[in-house]
């Protein structure tokens, strides 16, 4: 700030010091400032001064002050910018200064300024353009905060008040030039008719001051009473009797007012007013001065009303009072904003995304993960389509967009005649796990398989980017002004190779049957020629993405790659269905038209796991299970696999990143321990309920004594633990019981389990497996097998919900234990597929090339 200060003040800086840099100069608008090794060297060079400014580190401030005083008999003032000076040093500085008749201002301050004489010394009062805020007037300012010194001066001009002297006192523990010193100088300054004082908690500097002129005091920092250490200003912490509330009382007594000034309660007197919001200072000062018969210095300049240069309501319907009109920004910002307004979509800063995510966040206290601001517990209660859309549009899809998603994904699930199905069946026949089978399908869904769909999405976004379209479903939007050349038009049209594909017509019919609306589809249908499946998919994804894109919630890159994700969703779900059930026109016996026009994604996922259409309750609980499993944050193994694949391809060149390969990364980082362990809970429950004659696990009148069942197991487990201790072997862990975080209390709960339990209770629904788990943890404690009541963790909920859905089919022999294991694993994969999409898109937009690698210094060798 020295060049700005020197230029504004007409060249008042005579020289500076920096050991080892003698002979150098600092260039400023008012001329070069010479640099010397020491103060004495500068004086011997013929320079004289009466004010010194200290910028030294805290440990060197005392010696710097001593040097200034020792070598310059003409010195009158020293301004200390440095913060956090030791109290011992501050006391010595004061003693030295007083002995030599020198004023000290600081530390931790931004110096002083004089609006009348255009002088600024020490810091940055007035900012880069001090002439705009340091306007000549009649108000002196004294502030603990340097930044607010300038802000208050700017605010005062909106009420017609200019300034005389502005002093940033700083807020170190020891304030050298304090409020009492200011009051004495203020009383003698004939230019200053009023004063404004800004004070923070800590210290008794403002107590019992007799103000000779009107003053508006602003006291802030009630919240700092809760702090245990300094924040920002070392001295801004209250001790005993010097809190913000105490200081408010001091000023009210000094001004003889009954309360704090606000526009609604204007407590003022001729002596002054107390405010707690700097925005109230101008009006309070005007009211105080009116009682003294004094008018503002000049006509008001501007106002304190919000004047946004940019507005984005994020698609919310706001009350009229909150819909703020934008104003044209001054140069050069107005031109920059105009260019930015032509940009569609958000642009995110790139950074290392190793173990980091802008998509997911796990709360370490509750172990509940949020995806784009939505807790998975809440997402679990959303329709499945909303979960699949959230990672990519960052918003909860409404009923209309969910219907479009249903059509788009349904069109990709049936793989009849596709080499993907042959490969998936071969992987299945080879005995591979569900994630391996899905990996085969994802690997084949490579760039060439989506090349045309992505090109269609890019073309649609380009065509409509400057059209003013806000909602991709706007029936009234006029598409006649959108011009398209023949080459682009041909991109959307079916080719001879598409002649035998019945899906385009089926998709269009399903969209119409579901009441779907799309500006982009209406535009393409206006060509009057047959569209390709890729074009229809691109129109669907652009419709869904357009609102978030226009609101800059997502990037253009995300919107352009959305068709790839939806195709992957459908193909990966379809690959879990054995090839024998894929038929031309039907899937597991369900006709294409029915699936396209009526089925939800939850229905299709259930079909993939069970081979049948679920009833509404079954679909609901599959939806809940998938929602609970979406993400465990960026540190989970599956997320690491997806992020590592993006990092390896190089997100800084987005076109090289293979989204399908990133999905393979998530899938290869799933396994029987991480993904397939849901079956362990079901296996445990099957063991406990085998031969018990349970018919309906959702019927409270099941006739079983759950307490006796739980107690019998608890006693057996206690004996097992005792025997293991004698033999020195490890005790087996009980699936669904206990948690490394939720433990240690007399009775422990996993908040995720309680959330779902409350949901079932509110619906009046019952799950015998969940009730057994709750009884089990109680009995383990009652018989002495555990020191406290373990929590029932979220894994138990997953096992209980899924087994209840599949129980009757299992008991009827329609599903084997192996089928149950596959269903549990597949449920996990469907959930994590959503979370993986979130991490892939996030890393693609934010990450750097190879940013997930571990430095060699963090690796170790073991023998």
Do the strands 582-583 and 586-587 form a parallel or antiparallel pair, or are they unpaired? antiparallel
Give the pLDDT of residue 235: 54
Instruction: Give percent helix, percent strand, percent coil of the chain, each to the nearest 5.
Output: 50, 10, 45
Collapsed DSSP state (helix, strand, coil) of residue 208: coil
Give me the half-sphere count of Cα atoms (radius 13 Å) on the Cβ side of residue 504: 21
Residue 313, pLDDT > 90, answer no
**Mean pLDDT for the stretch of residues 812-819:** 89
What does the pLDDT look like over 105-120, one tens digit per residue?
999 999 999 999 999 9
pLDDT single digits (tens) 107-153: 999 999 999 999 999 988 999 999 999 999 999 999 999 999 999 99
Q: Tell me the C-alpha distance between 286 and 281, whole Å.
A: 9
Instruction: Say how many CA atoms lie within 13 Å of 601 toward its Cβ.
Output: 33
Residue 408: count of CB within 10 angstroms of its CB: 30
Candidate from 221-225, 329-333, 364-368, 648-652 with smallest mean pLDDT: 221-225
List strands edge to edge, sheet with 16-17: 16-17, 33-36, 25-26
**Six-digit token string for 216:** 């508006």
Rounded to 10°, the helix 601-610/556-575 angle is 30
Helices 794-811, 678-689: axis angle to 10 degrees equals 60
Convert the pLDDT of each residue in 348-402 to its tens digit.
999 999 999 999 999 988 889 999 999 999 999 999 999 999 999 999 999 999 9
| CATH 1.25.40 for the 360-674 domain, yes or no | no
| CA nearest to 455, candidates 487, 416, 431 | 487
pLDDT at 226: 62
CB 506 within 8 A of CB 593: yes
Q: Comparing C-alpha atoms, which of 238, 234, 177 is closest to residue 203?
A: 238
pLDDT above 50 (res 428):
yes
Can you tell me whether residue 723 is helix, strand or coil? helix
As given in the structure block, the two tokens for residue 274 are 């107390």
CB 251 within 8 A of CB 217: yes
Where along the chain do its domains lie?
111-305, 360-674, 678-734+737-792
pLDDT of 66 over the 70 cut: yes
Tokens of 150: 């300038």
Where does the pLDDT of residue 231 fall: very low under 50, low under 70, confident under 90, or very high at 90 and above? very low
Say if residues 839 and 642 touch (Cβ distance below 8 Å). Answer: yes
- Give pLDDT, residue 490: 97
198 with 167: CB under 8 angstroms?
no
Phi first, then psi: give them for residue 94, nearest 5 degrees. -65, -40
Confidence of residue 12 (pLDDT cuts 50, 70, 90): very high
Residue 362 phi/psi, 5-degree rounding, is -100, 130
DSSP character string of 418-430: -HHHHHHHHHHHT
Does the pLDDT at position 742 exceed 60?
yes
Mean of the per-residue pLDDT values for the chain? Answer: 93
Query: Edge-to-edge, what's the strand order for the sheet holding 374-375?
Result: 360-362, 369-371, 374-375
Phi and psi at 426, nearest 5°, equal -65, -40
The CATH architecture assigned to 111-305 reads 3-Layer(aba) Sandwich (3.40)
Domains 111-305 and 360-674 share a fold: no
């Amino acid at each position: 700030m020295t060049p700005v200060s020197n230029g504004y003040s007409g060249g008042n800086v005579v020289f500076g010091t920096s050991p080892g840099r003698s002979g150098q100069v600092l260039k400023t608008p008012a001329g070069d400032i010479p640099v010397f090794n020491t103060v004495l060297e500068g004086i011997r060079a013929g320079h004289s001064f009466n004010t010194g400014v200290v910028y030294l580190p805290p440990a060197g401030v005392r010696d710097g002050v001593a040097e200034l005083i020792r070598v310059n008999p003409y010195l009158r003032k020293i301004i200390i910018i440095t913060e956090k000076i030791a109290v011992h040093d501050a006391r010595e500085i004061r003693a030295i200064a007083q002995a030599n008749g020198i004023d000290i201002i600081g530390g931790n301050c931004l110096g002083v300024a004089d609006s009348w004489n255009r002088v600024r010394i020490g810091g940055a009062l007035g900012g880069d353009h001090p002439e705009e805020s340091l306007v000549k007037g009649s108000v002196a300012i004294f502030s603990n905060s340097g930044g607010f010194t300038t802000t208050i001066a700017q605010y005062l001009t909106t009420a017609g008040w200019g300034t005389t002297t502005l002093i940033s006192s700083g807020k170190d523990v020891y304030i050298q030039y304090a409020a009492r010193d200011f009051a004495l100088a203020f009383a003698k300054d004939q230019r200053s008719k009023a004063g404004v004082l800004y004070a923070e908690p800590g210290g008794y500097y403002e107590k019992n001051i007799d103000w000779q002129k009107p003053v508006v005091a602003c006291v802030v920092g009630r919240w700092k009473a809760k702090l245990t250490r300094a924040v920002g200003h070392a001295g801004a912490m209250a001790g005993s009797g010097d809190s913000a509330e105490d200081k408010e009382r001091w000023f009210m007594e000094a001004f003889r007012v009954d309360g704090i000034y606000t526009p609604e309660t204007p407590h003022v007197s001729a002596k002054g007013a107390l405010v707690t919001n700097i925005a109230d200072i101008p009006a309070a000062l005007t009211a105080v001065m009116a009682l003294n018969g004094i008018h503002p210095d000049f006509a008001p300049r501007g106002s304190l009303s919000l004047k946004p240069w940019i507005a984005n309501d994020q698609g919310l319907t706001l009350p009229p009072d909150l819909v703020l009109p934008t104003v044209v920004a001054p140069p050069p910002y107005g031109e920059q904003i105009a260019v930015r307004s032509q940009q569609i979509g958000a642009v995110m800063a790139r950074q290392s995304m190793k173990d980091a995510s802008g998509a997911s966040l796990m709360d370490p206290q509750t172990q509940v993960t949020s995806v784009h601001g939505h807790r998975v517990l809440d997402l679990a209660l959303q329709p499945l389509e909303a979960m699949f859309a959230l990672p990519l549009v960052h918003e909860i899809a409404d009923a209309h967009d969910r219907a479009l998603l249903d059509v788009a994904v349904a069109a990709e699930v049936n793989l009849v005649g596709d080499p993907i199905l042959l490969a998936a069946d071969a992987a299945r026949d080879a005995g591979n796990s569900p994630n391996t089978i899905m990996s085969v399908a994802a690997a084949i869904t490579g760039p060439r398989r989506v090349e045309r769909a992505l090109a269609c999405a890019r073309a649609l976004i380009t065509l409509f980017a400057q059209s003013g379209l806000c909602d991709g479903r706007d029936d009234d939007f006029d598409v006649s002004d959108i011009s398209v050349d023949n080459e682009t038009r041909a991109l959307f049209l079916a080719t001879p190779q598409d002649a035998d594909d019945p899906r385009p017509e089926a998709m269009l019919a399903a969209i119409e049957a579901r009441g779907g609306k799309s500006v982009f589809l209406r535009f393409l249908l206006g060509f009057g020629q047959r569209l390709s499946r890729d074009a229809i998919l691109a129109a669907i994804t652009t419709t869904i993405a357009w609102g978030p894109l226009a609101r800059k919630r997502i990037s253009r890159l995300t919107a352009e790659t959305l068709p790839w994700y939806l195709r992957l969703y459908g193909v990966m779900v379809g690959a879990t269905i054995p090839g024998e059930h894929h038929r031309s026109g039907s899937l597991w016996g369900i006709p294409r038209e029915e699936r396209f026009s009526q089925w939800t994604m939850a229905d299709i996922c259930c079909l993939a796991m069970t081979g049948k259409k679920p009833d509404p309750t079954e679909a609901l609980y599959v939806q809940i299970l998938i929602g609970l499993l979406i993400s465990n944050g960026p540190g989970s193994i599956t997320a690491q696999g997806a992020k590592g694949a993006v990092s390896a391809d190089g997100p800084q060149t987005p076109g090289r990143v293979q989204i399908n390969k990133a999905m393979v990364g998530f899938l290869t980082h799933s396994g029987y321990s991480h993904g397939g362990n849901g079956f362990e809970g079901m296996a445990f429950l099957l063991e406990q309920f085998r031969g018990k004659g349970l018919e309906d696990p959702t019927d409270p009148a099941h006739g079983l004594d759950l307490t006796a069942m739980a107690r019998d197991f608890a006693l057996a487990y206690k004996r097992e633990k005792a025997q293991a201790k004698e033999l020195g072997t490890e005790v087996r862990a009980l699936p669904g019981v206990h948690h490394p975080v939720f433990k240690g209390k007399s009775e422990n709960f996993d908040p995720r389990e309680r959330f779902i339990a409350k949901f079932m209770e509110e619906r009046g629904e019952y799950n015998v497996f969940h009730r057994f788990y709750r009884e089990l943890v109680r009995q383990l404690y009652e018989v002495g097998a555990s020191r406290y009541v373990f929590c029932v963790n979220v894994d138990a909920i997953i096992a209980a919900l899924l087994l209840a859905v599949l129980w009757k089919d299992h008991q009827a022999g329609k599903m084997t234990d192996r089928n149950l294991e596959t269903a549990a694993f597949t449920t996990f994969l469907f959930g994590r597929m959503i979370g993986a999409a979130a991490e892939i898109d996030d890393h693609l937009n934010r990450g750097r090339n190879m940013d997930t690698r571990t430095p060699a210094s963090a690796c170790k060798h073991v023998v």
